[in-house]
Amino acid sequence: MCACVVLVVGMVAAINLAVPLLASSALRPSASALVWIVDVYVIFFACLVIPGGAAGDRFGRKGVVLAGLGLFAAGSLVSAAAPDVAVLLVGRAVTGIGAAAVLPNTLAVLLHAVPAARTGATIATWASMTGIGGVLGNVGGGAVLSGGSWRWLFIAAVPVALALVALVARIAPVSPRHDRRLDPLGAVLLVGASVALLLGIVQGPEAGWGSPVVIGGFGCAAVLFTVWTVVELRVEHPLFDPRLLRDPALRSACLGMTTVFFGMFALFYVNASFLQYGKGFDVLLTGLGIIPLTVPIILGGRHVGRLSGRIGLDATTALAFAFVGGGLLGLSTSDAQTPYAAYAGWLVATGIGVTLALPTLSGVIAGSLPPDRAGVGTGLQATTREFGSALGVAVIGTVLTARFVAALPPDIRADHDPRTVAQALATTTAERAHEVVTAFVSATGGALRVIGVAVLVLGALVVGESLLSRSTREPSRAGQR
């Protein structure tokens, strides 16, 4: 089960390493297409993880895990053989659907398989796999992609997924089924609304912010999110009950979780290209280059509870966002001449913030729901994480494209109108390549500054709402006494 988690989470991180190879490939993807190649998997993963858990309850957890791994393998195979961007996007979507079926049911299978006395340790081990999956996705993805083709990343995923099918079929126990109704309409509306929102964000630089496709995307997202809310309020077994967000503690924790992953995966998206184009790293070194961010996550997670007990929940949360936002702003100052040691130092600072945030916010989400809704809490955490990841990639991709085009020398911009660094390098002479790389590095710094400021602002909102809700609850408790 842990290997399954590492596979589906690792793919979220690994694809970012392939962006430079994809950009210079025969597919010739546009800047917006590159963002979609990364985000389609994450969007389907995020929006369908709760229905995936419900399907496991109804049809059997082991069977749904097996079906999800099969879809993951099939989607990876389609992606590897894709002759164009459209087919690659279809393959990525299928892979994301498979991942959504796998992730929530791995924990359910584990909890059925182990004695009650080992439940806490089992959950902690399972949760740590999401962090380890990100590390192995970067390192393993870098090793695979060092073969020189982005297709190798998807080819390598197929035998791994099929081997896990065989292991799960042989080892995993069959757990009881529960007659839990599904909410297919809610799932379809949520996917549609999320795709429409990202369409508006991603297409802005290319189509223009006043274009029909961008305005239509934002308008469609608003309508679909509204319809989804109405549907969820009326159905007997909703995908997610919006009434839960009346609790300010739960609402602020969900926003906080989304914000942390918004910043972290925005960084993942630009980090690979920055290290390869700006620092001259090969793809394997690039995969290893993100490891400093994960060191605090692996070593410091078990100490966060004691710190939170000593300085308080709100202070720990505020410190977390200060480190994440400050780390991103520090990274935005890096250029081609910045020593990697300095860059790694800012990665560690960002990682400290993530380490402080994840267990703290996870605890708030879990503590805001009754024990019989623990499954909803797990699904909600996964949804907010993946949706924040998709949003971070979309926003930084949009800002990066706009700033890169603006930073290019006017003659290169006028003659070729490139939207990615790969397109610009392909259409300029070797003597002017450094001008393109300089424009890209400058655009990366500007994009990271936007993300860093956004994380700090959103973090202030999270802490502010938490403090406000705590202050309003204390007088009411005093009155009850």
Q: Give the tens place of pLDDT for each residue, 108-128.
A: 888 888 887 887 777 767 777
Contact 161, 73 (CB under 8 A): yes
Using CA atoms in the order 41, 150, 102, 301, what is the torsion angle rounded to 10 degrees? -90
d(CA 105, CA 125): 15
Provide, rounded to the nearest whole percent, the portion of the chain with pLDDT above 70. 94
Q: What amino acid is encoded at 421 in this protein? A: V
480, pLDDT greater than 60: no
Q: What amino acid is encoded at 251 in this protein? A: R
**In Å, how far are 394, 428, 445 from 404, measured between CA atoms?**
15, 15, 10
Which contiguous run of DSSP H or E holds residue 183? none
193: left (phi over 0), alpha (psi -120 to 50) or beta: alpha
d(CA 265, CA 391): 9
Q: Give me the pLDDT at residue 376, please.
A: 65
Contact 395, 267 (CB under 8 A): no
Q: Give the tens place of pLDDT for each residue, 245-284.
A: 888 888 898 999 999 999 998 998 899 899 999 999 999 9
180, pLDDT greater than 70: no
CA-nearest of 356, 280, 369 to 315 is 356
Q: Give me the pLDDT at residue 70, please.
A: 97
Q: Give the tens place of pLDDT for each residue, 289-334.
A: 988 988 888 788 778 888 888 998 889 999 999 999 999 999 999 9
Name the DSSP letter for residue 369.
S
d(CA 373, CA 243): 14
Distance of CA 118 to the CA centre of its chain: 29
- For the whole model, what pTM was predicted? 0.86
Q: Give the tens place of pLDDT for each residue, 343-352.
A: 999 999 999 9
Q: What's the rounded mean pLDDT across residues 125-140?
A: 79
Provide, rounded to the nearest whole percent, the portion of the chain with pLDDT above 90. 42
Q: Give the tens place of pLDDT for each residue, 401-438.
A: 889 989 998 888 877 777 788 888 888 888 888 999 99
Distance of CA 266 to the CA centre of its chain: 9
145, pLDDT greater than 80: yes
177, pLDDT greater than 60: yes
Position 173 confidence tier, pLDDT thresholds 50, 70, 90: confident
Structure tokens at 357: 């945030």
Q: Give the tens place of pLDDT for each residue, 49-82.
A: 888 888 887 888 899 999 999 999 999 999 999 9
Contact 416, 427 (CB under 8 A): yes
Distance of CA 292 to the CA centre of its chain: 19
- Taking the chain, what is the end-to-end CA distance rounded to the nearest angstrom? 47
Q: Is the dihedral of CA 43, 5, 363, 271 positive or negative?
A: negative
Q: Give me the pLDDT at residue 164, please.
A: 97
d(CA 14, CA 157): 11
Q: What amino acid is encoded at 355 in this protein? A: T
Q: Is the dihedral of CA 259, 125, 181, 99 positive or negative?
A: positive
| Tokens 């962090």 found at | 131
Distance of CA 450 to the CA centre of its chain: 18
Contact 349, 330 (CB under 8 A): yes
Cβ-based neighbours of 347, under 8 Å, separated by 6 or more: 290, 292, 293, 327, 331
100, pLDDT greater than 80: yes
Q: What's the rounded mean pLDDT across residues 227-250?
A: 85
Structure tokens at 132: 């380890």
Q: Give the tens place of pLDDT for each residue, 209-230.
A: 788 988 999 999 999 999 999 9
Contact 76, 144 (CB under 8 A): no
d(CA 280, CA 274): 9
Structure tokens at 142: 């870098």
477, pLDDT greater than 60: no
**In Å, how far are 113, 115, 156, 311 from 65, measured between CA atoms?**
15, 21, 20, 41
The count of other CB atoms within 10 Å of the CB of residue 210 is 8
Q: Give the tens place of pLDDT for each residue, 365-402.
A: 877 776 556 556 667 778 888 888 888 988 998 899 88
Burial 162-197 (b: 16+ CB within 10 A, else e): bebbeebeeebeebeeeeeeebeebbbbbbbbbbbb
Indicate the average pLDDT of the chain.
Answer: 87
Q: Is the dihedral of CA 76, 82, 84, 87 positive or negative?
A: negative
